[in-house]
Amino acid sequence: MQDLAINLVASALAAVAAWLIQRGIRYRRLARMRAFFGLREGAPSLLIAGRHWSSPRVSSVHRNDMGAIVELGAIVKECGGRADLVPAAEAPKELGKVTEFCIGGPESNPRTAAHLAALLPGVRVTTFEEAGEGVPIIVGEARYERLPHEEAHVVLARALPTAHPVFLLIGQTALSNLAAARYLASHHRDLRRRYGDDSPFCLVLKVRQPGAYGPDLVQVVADATPTAFDGTPPPALPSQRRPWWSVGRRP
């Protein structure tokens, strides 16, 4: 009987020890995740989405951008923070007071245009109006073109103007914005190991065969960090005369 009691006590102590170890591991993982995203328990954050190009309403958002918002909102929720969705036209006139996730290119999101000019001077993201369906992303001397239904590119960056980071997801299509959000959600531990909590980064991702696989087939094609943050602004594209049948169309 005494041996049984000892075994029961030992089993209970082992179970408590295992629970405490698992709790400690979860706490460390959560603390690291919070540090990477600049979030804490109950802290607010901003999700600033670009306007749907075909809608006259400033608060209208493309369904794939909504998918990106859901992915990013899940990150914030896991960190115990609060995500506030703000249309680009209503973005606050301040910077760095809270963690910010900015979604979409400069054509749909003026907040993105401001961040590119102020935080990523070495990156130029063209618009459909000036470059057509190729909408190249230019980083230094590198140029990344969109091939409709075959491949699209997206810039995934973290800028650190203050202690609160700004995450930028700037794709050639709304689908590529979603791909970047999913990549960030699934690879943030790898990104933290590489860049830590206090260093900016800028990656160019390629979404392969989006017509067949949607946002699921993604690869890193360039780490453009030095050029994006320290490089000189790429030159503007020469003006192009677009065919009459392409006027008003978007990728």
Distance of CA 229 to the CA centre of its chain: 17
pLDDT in tens, 165-212: 999 999 999 999 999 999 999 999 999 999 999 999 999 999 999 999
Closest CA to 146 of 170, 120, 114, 162: 170
pLDDT at 147 over 80: yes
> What are the backbone dihedrals phi and psi of residue 135, each rounded to the nearest 5 degrees, phi first?
25, 65
Higher pLDDT, 121 or 21: 121
CA atoms within 13 A on the CB side of 229: 14
Among residues 154, 131, 148, which one has the least CA distance to residue 239?
131
Residue 123 has pLDDT above 80, yes or no: yes
In single-letter form, the type of residue at position 228 comes to: A
Over residues 25-51, the pLDDT tens digits come to 566 889 999 999 999 999 999 999 988
**Tokens matching residue 236:** 């503007």
**DSSP reduced 3-state for 192:** helix
pTM of the model: 0.84
CATH architecture of 38-246: 2-Layer Sandwich (3.30)
Residue spans of the domains in the chain: they are 38-246
Helix (H, G, I), strand (E, B) or coil at 14: helix
90 DSSP 8-state letter? G
